[in-house]
Amino acid sequence: MFGKLAGLNGTSLDEESAAQAAAAENAAATTATPLPAAALAAVVALAAVTAALVRTHQASRATR
């Protein structure tokens, strides 16, 4: 199958199956559930901690 697009089940990928896969992917993207507030808060907290660690590291290097 070298040089050919193939699906995971061993069948070759044609235009129709590619269009179906794209349509399914678009449908999944539009029906995705939003992040819960706790997950969003965790991401924001992680970003704040990362920024603080970077600032601490930069400050320690500046004093050397």
Query: What does each of the 64 residues of the chain score in pLDDT, given as a tens digit?
Result: 455 555 555 556 567 766 777 777 766 656 667 778 999 999 999 999 999 999 999 999 998 8
Helix, strand, coil percent content, the chain, rounded in steps of 5: 65, 5, 30
Can you give the pLDDT at residue 56? 96
- Cα dihedral 9, 10, 15, 21 in deg (nearest 10): 20
Q: Alpha-carbon distance 20 to 27, whole Å?
A: 10
The reply to whether the predicted model has a pTM over 0.85 is no
